[in-house]
Amino acid sequence: MPPITTPAIILGALRYGDTSKIVRLATRDLGIRSALAKGALRPRSRFGASLQLLSEGVAHLYLKETRDLQTLAAFDLTSLRSGLAADLPRFSAAAAIGEVAWRFSPAESHPDSYDLLSGALTVLETAPEEAIEVLGLRMLWRLVSVLGFAPALDRCARDGTPLPPDTPLRFSAAEGGGLCSRCADGHGVSTLAPVDRRALEALVSSEAELPVFDERHAASHRRLFARFLRHHLAEGGEMPAITFWEERSWVSR
Amino acid sequence: MRAIEALVTELARLPGIGRKTAQRLTFHLLQQGPEESSRLARALDTVATTVRACAECGYVAEEERCEFCRDARRDAGLICVVEEAASVQAVERSTEFRGRYHVLGGRLSPLDGIGPESLRIDSLLERVRGGGVREVILATNPSMEGEVTATYLHQVLAGEGLRVTRLARGLPMGGDLEYVDGVTLAHALLARQDIVG
Ligand SMILES: [Zn+2]
Ligand SMILES: [Zn+2]
């Protein structure tokens, strides 16, 4: 039986044995998959340079639906995305988006999130350095929204009560969005001033003009997204790339 | 049996060794008799108690400093920065490099939570600031993480008043230096380029 081909993005690669790699793939037609690339570490492997983190190509997969690990027969590279390595802010934003895709994409095909991921990596590869911060935030919020986890911003996340626009937003990461005055009992709720609320709405939207941040505001928006992800989606699970992107520990050096 | 189980578990922790291979190794040792196992145990114990990281460069050493840092004929003004000790061996095996090394102990990797603070970058800066270093060659692996580590180090070293170079392009992307054939690696080192930007 011939392998099935699908556009795919490499979201991670682990060494397996002395000569092989296990790759995590976001595929357009087959959802999220893990696959064994036999011999990928050999000097003259047929995979050559192609199995790089965040690179995109056409994966040729032998599927056994009863197994978690598929076999990658070939990967025809379409974009190496080497420009993502140009600086650490760019690379960490891209890795964070890749981690969200890996953790929260459905197991079955979901072309909308795949296309968003692919587009986001292309944008991050070429955007000017000063735009990376806010673009990273936009892409992360867009990705969770396309995956069906958009934060509730105009209705209470718990009981659906409309939240009046242009007022402070009581945001609960655990509940997944804003809360009305009745539901917001103070626990784990952070209040966003109208200007920060508008910035968040702009980030989540696909069309709104991007907000302009200073580093202090950018840091609180990164924190907000990371908390939303951890408490609402990841149930406290580890998200190393999100933490890396959120904390920017390299900046203080 | 608990003793056998414990050995299988330890062996299976090693890279590239699955449970089945660990079992095979364990039974092989049992068949060879106690002398064989004791010799292996002694070798492991010796390594564990005498080998450490070189205080200067992070490579493996049996004394405070490694063989390269103690060798006065080695050019201390030229430092080749690599991810792992295995890369030092690859460079030694295949090139005429006569400088010294600096082993980072990994590469920047957000997905593994490895940031600059987890690597031996401060000690590299210390060496550079100690004076006498003319050139730092960034010989991180030709992979995405290796590239981003090199660009980050270049930023950190900029302004220190020395030449910073990167192995020439043409190394097969995706492998580790230890898998690159010797001729290619020797050429990449000779044809190293100044980093612009
Ligand atoms: Zn409510
Ligand atoms: Zn040394």
Same domain? A18 vs A48: yes
DSSP secondary structure of A86-155: G-HHHHHHHHHHHHHHHHHS-SS--HHHHHHHHHHHHHHHHS-GGGHHHHHHHHHHHHHIIIIIPPBSSB
Residue at a domain's end among A80, A99, A134: A80
Tell me, yes or no, whether B161 and B133 share the same domain.
yes
Residues A124-172 have pLDDT tens digits of: 999 999 999 999 999 999 999 999 999 999 999 999 999 999 999 999 9
Q: In this structure, what CATH number is given to the domain that contains residue A108?
A: 1.20.1440.120
Same domain, A56 and A96: no
Under a CB-based contact definition with an 8 Å cutoff, are residues B189 and B170 in contact?
A: no
What values do phi and psi take at B53, rounded to 5?
A: -80, 135
Q: Determine the average pLDDT of the residues in A12-35.
A: 91
The answer to whether A88 contacts B156, with C-beta atoms less than 8 Å apart, is no
Of A43, A88, A253, the CB nearest to B148: A88
Please report which residue ranges of chain A form alpha helices under DSSP H. 88-104, 111-126, 132-144, 194-204, 215-227, 240-247
Share of residues in chain A with pLDDT > 90 (%): 75
Q: How far apart are CA A10 and CA A43, in angstroms?
A: 20
Which of B30, B50, B70 is the C-terminal boundary of a domain? B50
H or E element, residue B47: helix B34-50
Residue B143 in any domain: the answer is yes
B21 to chain A nearest CA, in Å? 11
Q: Measured between alpha carbons, how far is A28 from A59 in angstroms, rounded to an integer?
A: 10
Residue numbers in A near B141 (CB within 8 A): none
Is the domain of A223 the same as that of A144?
A: yes
Report the DSSP beta bridge partners of residue B99. Answer: B75
Q: How far is Cα A25 from Cα A31, in angstroms, rounded to an integer?
A: 8
* A146, A243: one domain: yes
Q: Answer whether A43 sits within 8 Å of B179, measured CB to CB.
A: yes
H or E stretch covering B185: helix B182-190
Is the Cβ–Cβ distance between A69 and A25 less than 8 Å?
no
pLDDT of residue B175: 64
Contact A82 B108 (CB under 8 A): no
pLDDT at A71: 95
Domain assignment present for residue A253? The answer is: no
A115: in domain: yes
Same domain, B39 and B91: no
**Residue A186's pLDDT is what?**
72
- Residue A144 in any domain: the answer is yes
Are residues B94 and B9 part of one domain? no
Is B134 among the domain residues? yes
Q: For Cα atoms A109, A227, A82, give the angle at the middle one, nearest 5 degrees.
A: 55
Query: Domain range for residue A51?
Result: 4-80
How far does the centroid of ligand 2 lie from the alpha carbon of residue B52, in Å? 11
Dist CA B182 CA B147 (whole Å):
21
Pair (B121, B45) in one structural domain: no
Contact A15 B15 (CB under 8 A): yes
Query: Does B43 lie in the same domain as B140?
Result: no
Mutate to test the interface with B, among A23, A100, A253 (most CBs of B within 10 A): A253
Q: Which residue carries 């000790």 as its tokens?
A: B85
Nearest residue of chain B to residue A245 (CA atoms)? B110
Find residue A27's DSSP bridge partners: A8, A31
Find residues 97-126 of chain B whose CB sits inside 8 Å of chain A.
108, 110-113, 115-117
A20 and B CB contact within 8 Å: no
> What mean pLDDT comes out for the span B11-40?
89
Percent of chain B with pLDDT over 90: 71
Count of structural domains within chain B: 2
Contacts of A87 (CB under 8 A, 6+ apart): A129, A132, B148, B151, B152, B155
Cβ neighbours of A84 in B, within 8 Å? 144, 148
| A180 and A131 assigned to the same domain | yes
Residues of A in contact with B156 (CB under 8 A): 253
C-alpha to C-alpha distance for A214 and A194, rounded to whole angstroms: 17
Which has the closest alpha carbon to A60: A68, A52, A70? A70
Query: Considering only alpha carbons, which residue of chain B is nearest residue A246?
Result: B110
Q: Do A249 and B151 count as a contact with CB atoms less than 8 A apart?
A: no
Both B45 and B136 in one domain: the answer is no
Taking residue A235's Cβ as centre, other Cβ atoms within 10 Å add up to: 8
Query: What's chain A's average pLDDT?
Result: 92
Grade residue B173 by pLDDT with cuts at 50, 70 and 90: low
Question: In chain A, how many domains are there?
Answer: 2
By the 8 A CB rule, do A224 and A171 touch?
Answer: yes
Answer yes or no: do B36 and B90 share one domain: no
Does residue B55 form part of some domain?
A: no
Q: Of A49, A80, A111, which marks where a domain is finished?
A: A80
Asked if B175 contacts B134 with a C-beta cutoff of 8 angstroms, the reply is: no
Paired tokens of B22: 């660990």
Cβ atoms of B11 and B26 closer than 8 Å:
yes
If asked whether residues A130 and A72 sit together in one domain, one would say no
Domain shared by A36 and A97, yes or no: no
Buried b (16+ CB within 10 A) or exposed e, B118-137: bbbbebbeebbeeeebebbb
Q: Give the separation between CA A143 and CA A133, rounded to whole angstroms.
A: 16
Q: Are both A139 and A215 inside the same structural domain?
A: yes
Q: Which residue has the higher pLDDT, B186 or B62?
A: B62
Query: If pLDDT is split at 50, 70 and 90, which confidence band does A253 have?
Result: low
Answer whether B143 touches A (CB < 8 Å).
Answer: yes
In this structure, what token pair is assigned to residue A217? 């505001």
Same domain, B44 and B78: no
- Considering the domain architecture, whether residues B9 and B40 belong to the same structural domain is answered as yes
Residue A91 lies in a domain: yes
Phi, psi (rounded to 5 degrees) for A217: -70, -40
Q: Between chains, do A85 and B148 touch, taking CB under 8 Å as contact?
A: yes
CATH of the domain at B75: 3.40.1360.10
Residue B115 is part of which domain span?
Answer: 60-194
Q: How far is CA B10 from CA A62, A166, B18, B168, in A?
A: 33, 60, 11, 40
Cα A51 to Cα A68: distance, rounded to the nearest angstrom: 19
What's the number of CA atoms in the CB half-sphere (13 Å) around residue A218? Answer: 21
Q: Give the residue from A56, A80, A104 where a domain finishes.
A: A80
Closest chain B C-alpha to A132 CA, distance in angstroms: 16
Q: What CATH number is given to the structural domain containing A44?
A: 2.40.50.140
Q: Considering the entire predicted model, what is its pTM? A: 0.89
* Residue found by looking up tokens 């696909």 in the block: A206
pLDDT digits (tens, 9 = 90+) for A33-56: 999 999 888 777 888 777 899 999
Q: Are residues B41 and B123 located together in one domain of the fold?
A: no
Do A33 and A98 belong together in one domain? no
CATH of residue B26: 1.10.8.420
Residues A45 and A158 in one domain: no
Q: Does the distance separating the beta carbons of A84 and B179 come in below 8 Å?
A: no
Statement: residue B174 has pLDDT above 70 = no
- Are residues B45 and B103 part of one domain? no
Beta-carbon separation of B111 and A40 below 8 A: no
**Nearest C-alpha in A relative to B109:** A241
Q: Which tokens go with B33?
A: 């008799």
Q: ipTM of the predicted structure?
A: 0.91
| pLDDT, tens only, B117-157 | 999 999 999 999 998 999 999 999 988 999 999 999 999 99
How long is chain B?
A: 197
Q: Are residues B96 and B174 in the same domain?
A: yes
Residues of B in contact with A246 (CB under 8 A): none
